[in-house]
Amino acid sequence: MDMLFAKTVVLAASAVGAGTAMIAGIGPGVGQGYAAGKAVESVARQPEAKGDIISTMVLGQAVAESTGIYSLVIALILLYANPFVGLLG
């Protein structure tokens, strides 16, 4: 079989897989927005605690970011460090 065809199929599947993986971003988007809304509400009630509120929000959001980053990592690997091409050789 042709190596070029093999690469074509694997890379096309990688492109679709990378796109599918990014859908996970719906979750962190909704969750972080909820946290942001709660932070805004809280700052308005206790402006003196603004520092604590924002640092808590950012910390919480940073953890909630994780699955979005995982998806980004998988997509970037599929794009730039595609290990499948080496496995074909």
27-56: which residues touch a second copy (CB under 8 A)? 27-47, 49-50, 52-54, 56
Number of chain positions touching a second copy (CB under 8 A): 83
- Name, in order, each residue with C-beta under 8 angstroms of 57's C-beta and a sequence gap of 6 or more: 35, 36, 38, 39
CB of 86 to a second copy, least distance (A): 10
CB of 48 to a second copy, least distance (A): 8
CB of 82 to a second copy, least distance (A): 6
Please, are residues 65 and 28 in contact by the beta-carbon 8 Å criterion? yes
Distance (Å, whole) CA 27 – CA 14: 22
